[in-house]
Copies of this chain bind each other. A is one copy, B any other.
């Protein structure tokens, strides 16, 4: 088994720097498009055989060091009782948007093995099909990012409704966050029980906050989830599963993020990774941070950037290579294959 990724998560020595890529199973791959043509996006998420198939595609094609469950961060939102649809242009639409006490009351904290059984089935199937080739990462949206979709009813530019609720009705927001936090905690426990060997919390929109607000309105709930998961794994005598915390636009928030309790910190590309490590502490394990659009560079230029990041990241206790955000649909798979090869080759030379 290739356990380089898990070793790196734990800060142990590895022969080379492991790499996986956010959205590595996705639209830029013809093989994904072929599966996706047959079913709509939500059906793909909810059909374990198909979800497992697209999860494994990048392992075969790219030779990455970890698989990540194919799913969507809005699956728990639907399970909590909202109506979820994906529109080709508008993106996800959730109705009715949660804006008042009544809206929060209507939401449930679902039993994941009931309402999201297809996710756990996918994980169980994947563990069989991967049969130890690479570790499987489970994931969930972090509570704040999940809440934005529920309050806005979809994606947003300014997150006005969300911040308005936070600032004008903080108790209402807290009650919503408590339900989301409970849901995500149970969801990740179920993923781990089903076989997820690492778990990433995506706080894509966490970067819209000032550091003080981030701490109060996003981070405290992440801390609670991570602490609960760690206690639960200990109590249940489950071998510790590393938790990765990814925040979009981390640069202003690193001093807060390092208190999250996560084992690995995702770093976006808007900051030099050595600067991020300096602020997180040299005992940190970091994941990142190539600009997704750097994948449009000629390969020799990509290689220069890979070298640069590997060099800068050497000051950390551990480094998992990744893009600073999801790979873009317009990306050439060829360049992604080349990226994985470069990271493996160049990091081996360094040791």
Tell me if A328 and B272 are in contact (CB < 8 A): no
Assembly CA distance A294 to B252 (angstroms): 18
Assembly CA distance A158 to B255 (angstroms): 27
What is the copy number of this chain in the assembly? Answer: 2
A294: min CB distance to chain B, Å: 7
Tell me if B211 and A293 are in contact (CB < 8 A): no
Type the 1/0 row for A156-171, where 1 means its CB is closer than 8 Å to any CB of B. 0011100110011000
On chain A, the number of residues with a Cβ less than 8 Å from chain B's Cβ atoms is 36
A167 contacts across to B, CB distance below 8 A: 293-294, 296-297, 301
Partner of A160, one of B275, B293, B308: B293
A168 contacts across to B, CB distance below 8 A: 296-298
A10: min CB distance to chain B, Å: 28
A103 contacts across to B, CB distance below 8 A: none
Partner of A269, one of B210, B289, B294, B308: B210
Assembly CA distance A305 to B275 (angstroms): 28
Tell me if B209 and A272 are in contact (CB < 8 A): no
Residue A251 at the B interface, CB < 8 A? Answer: yes
Task: For chain A, residues 274 to 329, give those with C-beta under 8 angstroms from any C-beta of chain B.
Answer: 275, 289, 291, 293-294, 296-298, 301, 308, 324, 328
A210 contacts across to B, CB distance below 8 A: 269-272, 289, 291, 324
A269 contacts across to B, CB distance below 8 A: 210
Residue A172 at the B interface, CB < 8 A? Answer: no
Residue A203 at the B interface, CB < 8 A? Answer: no
Assembly CA distance A90 to B160 (angstroms): 19
Type the 1/0 row for A186-207, where 1 means its CB is closer than 8 Å to any CB of B. 0000000000000000000001
Assuming A213-B291, A252-B270, what are 8 further A-B pairs, CB within 8 angstroms?
Answer: A158-B328, A160-B293, A160-B328, A160-B330, A208-B270, A210-B269, A251-B253, A253-B270
23 A–B contact pairs at CB < 8 A?
A160-B330, A163-B293, A164-B296, A167-B293, A167-B296, A168-B296, A207-B249, A209-B270, A209-B291, A210-B270, A210-B291, A211-B271, A212-B272, A212-B308, A213-B291, A249-B249, A249-B251, A249-B270, A251-B251, A251-B252, A251-B253, A251-B270, A252-B270
Which 6 pairs of residues, A with B, have the shortest CB-CB distance? Answer: A251-B252, A252-B271, A251-B251, A163-B293, A252-B270, A167-B297
